[in-house]
Structure 1
Amino acid sequence: MRIRFKVPLLVLGTFFLLSNCTVKWTKAIQRGHISQKAFNEHVKMEIKNGLIFVPVKIDNVEYRFLFDSGAPFSISEELQRNQSYKVISHGNIVDSDKSKKRIDWVQVDSIKIGSIDFVNQTAFIGDFNANPKLECLGFDGIIGSNLMRHCNWTIDQEKKELSLSNAVSEEALNNSVTIPFDEDNQYSMFINFTIGRAKLSNILIDYGSNGSIALSKKAFDVLKKNGIVDKTFLESGAQQNGVVGAPVDINHEIALSDSVQLDTLKLLAVELKTGKSDMIGNQVLSRFKVTIDWDNKVLHLQEPKLDTDPIETFGFRIGYTNEKGVHIQSVIENSIAFKKGIKPNMKVTKVDGLDFENGSSFCDYFQNEFGPTIRIELIDFNGDRKEFIIEKTSLDTNS
């Protein structure tokens, strides 16, 4: 999940607004250390909805944190109420949907991942219940970029194992493709890679996104102009992906590419989508065993998955707001759902065995794993109930 803090003279032209306090966030975020000197810790992680969750301990109580390289370290409002950490600064965040919100920064005295003790870390207080999707995921904080930079990390999603170490393993050094990264003021990582003949620069590594690759419209237009992508699809409606939780209108272009290349690694069947931020998400990162080498500012990528599942979709997304309830949030044009008359903002009453008028919740839907076909009941704009059976199809068959 991309979260930007507003600071002068960033390349992205954003600003961080400080209130009357004694510590600038750019100084506060540099605080902290690890109490151990030599270590190699292994922790089991959970993968849910394409995102990584890790157990942590604060005062010997276990909590569930999202592993998110696109955001700084964060704790929930509930955790702050329990702990009453000292507030050291204030400011605004800008999330991946470009929505803005006022937040507080606090100093977390100690947080343990496995046996590794991260001391005096700076965190922002997040309202993770503001976005219904994040509320459904039920996590207590974010293992973010400023905390990550204190050691090296290996993310093995096939084994569901996260490793923390003061030194990079010989395996990672000798059996990997190495990609350098740059960092910004909040220690987010940015890499360069190519799609066909086009070189893309300063693309965020975002483990907090369960998407694939998002590009600015300008970059996407360059790919189209040079014939690097030809067949595109339009997704219209709204999305609600940021930590602030505000729905925003979208008109995303989507394409599939077999020409994404990370150094010498060529990737097949990669989804490209226009977005408000340039990033590479966990749909791509999960193909590799990744070691984040903070000592040398490089990523080591191992064991690429050569066989990838086809990208399939029902052709629509379902969302929730207090005003609209459970509803169709966006639709891909020319998909089966689109051709059957499903449109954004139609009210959803049933999905398979879920009945939203009789006790089922949006979280029941969000946490469900549906099969290749679903039955959905909607109320259209005339107030009529309509039932549809929709099959999941490959994106490139929608035309």
Structure 2
Amino acid sequence: MKTRLLFTFFILLIIGCNSSKRFYNSGYVNLKNDIEEIDLNIVNDLPLCKVEIEGKTYSFLVDTGAPTVISDEIFKTLNLKESYKSSMTDSQNRKRQEKFAVIPQIKIGNLIFKDIGSAVIKFENKELKCFGFDGIVGANLLSHIFCEFNYQESKILVSKNLTAFSLERYDLILNFNPKNQKTPIINGKFLNKNLSFTFDTGFAGSIKIPNNLEYYKNKISEDKFILSNGINSISLYGTSITNKTIELKNEIYIDNLLFKDELIDTGESTLIGNEFLKNYIFLIDWKSNKIYLKSIINSDKKQVKSFGFSYLFDKGKAIVVSKIEEKKIPINLGDEIIRIDDFDFTTIKSEDYCKYYLNKVEKDKEVIDITIKRENNLLNFKLEKQTFIK
């Protein structure tokens, strides 16, 4: 059983149509052995790894939903030449013009990648900075190798030869079509509506589908969905807008395979993320455009259990930014959290922001005493975690 937050973190980056397809087909890789291992550091369901560029070690997010990215600081340190500029679109459909460059060499463990096309981005989002990564190992880099992800053991096994892996051990096969930047796109269906899913290891959630609230409410039984209001996600260029979204439990087709009783939420993008993927060992084959999945026994019940609200820090204050509607939850959007049990939020220093953003003080609690400030009034409540979807 997992307690679910009302917002998730993800990076989905789509390159503008005027980007060069050849730019993302460039580069090659050298492996010391037939099969190599990349160690992962899983932070809030996002996979990070160490990379080395010109003798300096950095932390990069491993993200199939994005191209390779380096920070503007790395671009300046390496004194790289700008190849061109193009628009980038994040998961909230925000667009920016970004510059692009070729990285002469990136070393990941014993793997050496050369002449890899990369976007150059300033990581300004304060929530993003909490994860401590300096760039993204993107789909165009990963497409040079066969990659087997194993989140439970925090590693990726890679090879230049598919024969290094025993394909008979996998239970399922998904077909995909890669975008120019090599991100896998998988066709699927939900409630007889055709969808195209981005296979996105930069998405911390499970499965995301487009917002269509009234349609879903008329098709799903009341005990299988909840309505939330507020900010429900954080992406590269900022948080989502305040909006009403639904989280639900239902069957869904991914490729032509039926997955039953999956937790699904709605938003601006259509994604398959790590909360779903961590139940599998999965191998991505960019040569044949296939993803192989091996089921891992998972005792977690797929349910939504929480206190019914989430908060972010704004100007040193913990502000409620989302809540489940139509339930008995006395917390409102915009309330300032003053205290949870013995923890005083007004004492948090700016340098400790990331600590409390990544590790919520109420995360492992079943009951909390909470004090909030609303219109200059202090209000106290005792809250129990509720199971909103079983």
Deviation per residue, 1:328-363 (Å, 9 max, x gap): 11111134xxx2421112223334554342234432
Q: Is this contact kept in 1: 2:147–2:283, CA < 8 A?
A: yes
Q: Is this contact kept in 1: 2:105–2:113, CA < 8 A?
A: yes
The residue number in structure 2 matching 1:318 is: 311
Alignment pair present for 1:300 and 2:300: no
The residue number in structure 2 matching 1:275 is: 267
Alignment pair present for 1:178 and 2:170: no
The residue number in structure 1 matching 2:136 is: 142
The residue number in structure 2 matching 1:51 is: 46
The residue number in structure 1 matching 2:16 is: 6
Question: 1:261: how far off?
Answer: 4.8
User: What is the alpha-carbon distance in structure 2 between the residues aligned to residue 357 and residue 228 of structure 1?
Assistant: 41
The residue number in structure 1 matching 2:6 is: none
The residue number in structure 2 matching 1:19 is: none
User: What is the alpha-carbon distance in structure 2 between the residues aligned to residue 389 and residue 81 of structure 1?
Assistant: 51
**Aligned mate of 1:132, from 126, 130, 136:** 126
Question: 1:189: how far off?
Answer: 0.6
**Structure-2 change in CA distance of 1:395 and 1:226 (3 Å):** closer
Q: What's the TM-score once normalised by structure 1's chain length? A: 0.85
Q: How many residues align?
A: 373
Alignment pair present for 1:238 and 2:235: no
User: What is the alpha-carbon distance in structure 2 between the residues aligned to residue 27 and residue 240 of structure 1?
Assistant: 33
The alignment partner of 2:242 has SS state of strand
Question: 1:394: how far off?
Answer: 2.1
**Structure-2 change in CA distance of 1:278 and 1:340 (3 Å):** closer
Question: 1:228: how far off?
Answer: 8.2
Q: Which moved more, 1:32-41 or 1:46-55?
A: 32-41
The alignment partner of 1:248 has SS state of coil
User: What is the alpha-carbon distance in structure 1 between the residues aligned to residue 183 and residue 344 of structure 2?
Assistant: 41
The residue number in structure 2 matching 1:80 is: 75
The residue number in structure 2 matching 1:109 is: 104
Alignment pair present for 1:349 and 2:359: no
**Structure-2 change in CA distance of 1:327 and 1:189 (3 Å):** same
The residue number in structure 2 matching 1:11 is: none
Alignment pair present for 1:212 and 2:203: no
Question: 1:210: how far off?
Answer: 0.7
Q: Is this contact kept in 2: 1:212–1:284, CA < 8 A?
A: yes
User: What is the alpha-carbon distance in structure 2 between the residues aligned to residue 263 and residue 103 of structure 1?
Assistant: 33
User: What is the alpha-carbon distance in structure 2 between the residues aligned to residue 203 and residue 186 of structure 1?
Assistant: 15
Report the structure, 1 or 2, having the larger strand content.
2
Q: What's the TM-score once normalised by structure 2's chain length? A: 0.87
Give the letter aligned to residue 236 of structure 1.
Answer: N
Give the letter aligned to residue 334 of structure 2.
Answer: N
Question: 1:51: how far off?
Answer: 0.9
Q: Is this contact kept in 2: 1:269–1:308, CA < 8 A?
A: no
**Structure-2 change in CA distance of 1:387 and 1:50 (3 Å):** farther
Give the letter aligned to residue 186 of structure 2.
Answer: I
The residue number in structure 2 matching 1:67 is: 62
Alignment pair present for 1:368 and 2:363: no
**Structure-2 change in CA distance of 1:281 and 1:353 (3 Å):** farther
Question: 1:221: how far off?
Answer: 6.0
Alignment pair present for 1:190 and 2:185: yes
Alignment pair present for 1:333 and 2:325: yes
User: What is the alpha-carbon distance in structure 2 between the residues aligned to residue 47 and residue 280 of structure 1?
Assistant: 17
**Aligned mate of 1:358, from 337, 347, 352:** 347
Deviation per residue, 1:13-65 (Å, 9 max, x gap): xxx5xxxxxxx443322221113497311122111111111111112322111
Deviation per residue, 1:194-227 (Å, 9 max, x gap): 55x6364321101101111111134x76655555
Q: Is this contact kept in 2: 1:42–1:162, CA < 8 A?
A: yes
Give the letter aligned to residue 365 of structure 1.
Answer: Y
User: What is the alpha-carbon distance in structure 1 between the residues aligned to residue 355 and residue 20 of structure 2?
Assistant: 38
RCO higher in structure (CA 8 A, sep ≥6) = 2
**Structure-2 change in CA distance of 1:222 and 1:235 (3 Å):** closer
Q: Is this contact kept in 2: 1:354–1:364, CA < 8 A?
A: no
Q: Is this contact kept in 1: 2:91–2:235, CA < 8 A?
A: yes
User: What is the alpha-carbon distance in structure 1 between the residues aligned to residue 313 and residue 21 of structure 2?
Assistant: 35
Give the letter aligned to residue 198 of structure 1.
Answer: N
